[in-house]
Every structure is written in C-alpha cells, then in structure tokens.
C-alpha cells in the first residue's frame, strides 16, 4: 500500500464506506489523492509494475491508458463516497470559503496576497472564511494578512505522510466547513472547488493565480485548465454546468458498491 493512499484520510473514508469501523485494511494499489489533469497520480511517485491504480473518473482512466498505464480502474473520489454517506442540506448556509493556491512540503508560493485579499473583498458580499494549507497557516506573516483583513482563517489540518501523522478526519472536517458556506472559491481550479460543488456550494474561480517556485506546467498546465474548464472560471459560475462537470471529474455518478470496492482493493468482507 502506497503511503499516499492515506493522504487526507482517503483510505479511512473508503474503509468506513465498506463497513470497517475500526480496522484500516491496506489498499493493494495506488489511489488518486487529488484532482489533476494527467493520469491521476502524482508525477513524483515511483510505481511498481503490475500494481493497479485507482482513479476518480473515466476521463482520467482514458488519459492514463493513453500514457501507457494499464490496470487502471475507476472508483470515484473518496470525497464522493463521504458525501453519499451523509448528503448535504441546502439550509443554514452563509458566506464563502476561499482556498488560496498553496504549495506542498518544500515548495513555496509566489504571489501577491494583499492583491488577492482586495479581490476577495471586492467580490464577496458576505462573511469570508479563508482556508490555508497547513504550511501557509503555520507561517505567521501569511496567516496574519488574512486575519487582519477581517476574514475568519482556518486550516483543515495536515494531510499525513509516510504513514505518520495520519488524520482520518481530515475530509470530515473539510466537509463540515463546506456545508456551512453558500459559496466555495479559489484562485485556481482545484479539488477543493469540486468538493464544494458536491457539498452544495456555488463555485467561483478568480483572483491572482499565483505560482510555485520553479513551477512546471505539466500536461498543459494552467493554460489548459483555463481553456478546457473555462466555464468554471469567474466570480459567478453557472451552477448546473458546475454540477455536471463535478460529477464527471469526481466520478460521483458512478460510485461502486461496498462489495465492488472490497473486491478491487483485495479486502475481506467486514464482519
């Protein structure tokens, strides 16, 4: 089982869906852990030949096949299973949850946070929650900028890594936050935006997109995303279109049964 299968508590969500309340069985294969425009897997991961990959959508499976990957199966995103187990309610929502583009461990973002703050203020007409990645959240200079702007600033937690600091409830906390907001937004189209749509939010993608130090535009990168998913960019997005695209990208319309997932993952049926 690759350690990235545990990122964001993905394996825990799927285990719960399959009826494992306490034991965490190991997934025999590689599980996609974030939305991307390639084959679903992180480009820096090494793969063992003959071990299957589990991706979120048929579109991603086809891209993986065109790149020479075999034994690729569509399972749908763990987030979609979480939502299916606890469907969102439309009432009791207010404001926007905004996800600034972030780096990963060892990477840093180049961009104008003050400019982004001004754009958020000019666009949103209700209370704003800014959710920072743990790396930016632990950087006082970045966190204080958003706090001093009057935004509520949170962090969903640490995603875990190398079988350490695992957090089974990461997605659970993220879902709880998104369910309380009317809108979800980011300065780049990303997993969190698709998650928000499935959680019942109205999406938006606007603001300085920022970039990582030494960022490479793999598989067409930012220009391809803005072109292929143009309908999801802007301060106001057609909700029906967003829902249709989200269902496709997260595989939410083709989730497997617990028995089917257990078979694919080589899990024994829960007692």
Q: Rounded distance, CA 56 to CA 30, Å? A: 12
Q: Rounded distance, CA 40 to CA 59, Å? A: 10
- DSSP conformation letters of 87-150: ---SSS--SEEEE-----TT--EES-HHHHHHHHHHH--S-EEEE--HHHHT-HHHHHHHHHTT
pLDDT digits 0-9 by tens, 34-45: 998 877 777 666
pLDDT of residue 234: 97
Stretch 173-201: mean pLDDT: 97
User: Taking Cα atoms as reference points, which of 224, 245, 270 lies closest to residue 56?
Assistant: 245
pLDDT of residue 218: 60
- pLDDT level of residue 219 (50, 70, 90 thresholds): low
pLDDT of residue 66: 86
Weakest-pLDDT range from 65-69, 123-127, 171-175, 217-221: 217-221
Domain ranges of the chain: 3-85+251-265, 96-249
CA angle 263–269–270, rounded 5-degree value: 140
CATH 1.10.357 given to domain 96-249: no
Phi first, then psi: give them for residue 222, nearest 5 degrees: -65, -40
pLDDT of residue 209: 78
Weakest-pLDDT range from 30-44, 62-76, 108-122, 157-171: 157-171
Weakest-pLDDT range from 48-57, 200-209, 246-255: 48-57
Stretch 196-213: mean pLDDT: 89
pLDDT of residue 159: 67
- Beta strand pairing call for 109-110 and 211-212: antiparallel
Q: Rounded distance, CA 175 to CA 240, Å? A: 21
- pLDDT level of residue 64 (50, 70, 90 thresholds): confident
pLDDT of residue 6: 81
Phi first, then psi: give them for residue 192, nearest 5 degrees: -60, -35
Q: Rounded distance, CA 90 to CA 259, Å? A: 31
Instruction: Provide CB contacts within 8 A for 76, sequence distance 6+.
Output: 56, 57, 250, 251, 252, 254, 255, 256
């Amino acid at each position: 089982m690759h350690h990235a299968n545990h990122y964001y508590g993905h394996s825990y969500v799927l285990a719960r869906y399959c009826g494992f309340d306490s034991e965490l069985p190991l997934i025999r294969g590689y599980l996609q852990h974030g939305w991307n425009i390639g084959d679903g897997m992180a480009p820096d991961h090494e793969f063992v030949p003959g071990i299957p990959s589990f991706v979120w959508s048929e579109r991603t499976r086809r891209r993986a096949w065109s790149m020479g990957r075999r034994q690729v199966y569509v399972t749908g995103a763990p987030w979609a299973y979480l939502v299916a187990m606890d469907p969102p309610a439309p009432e009791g929502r207010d404001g926007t949850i905004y996800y600034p583009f972030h780096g990963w461990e060892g990477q840093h973002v180049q961009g104008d946070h003050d400019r982004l703050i001004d754009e958020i203020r000019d666009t949103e007409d209700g209370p704003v929650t800014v959710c920072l990645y743990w790396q930016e959240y632990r950087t006082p200079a970045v966190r204080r900028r958003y706090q001093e702007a009057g935004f509520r600033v949170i962090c969903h937690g640490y995603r875990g890594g190398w079988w350490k600091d695992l957090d089974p409830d990461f997605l659970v906390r993220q879902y709880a936050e998104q369910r309380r907001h009317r809108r979800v937004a980011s300065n780049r189209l990303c997993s969190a935006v698709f998650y928000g749509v499935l959680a019942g939010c109205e999406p938006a993608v606007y603001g300085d997109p920022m970039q990582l130090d030494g960022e490479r535009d793999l598989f067409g990168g930012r220009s391809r995303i803005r072109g292929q998913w143009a309908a999801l960019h802007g301060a106001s997005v057609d909700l029906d279109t967003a829902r249709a695209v989200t269902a496709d990208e997260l595989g939410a319309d083709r989730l497997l049964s617990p028995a089917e997932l257990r078979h694919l993952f080589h899990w024994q049926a829960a007692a």
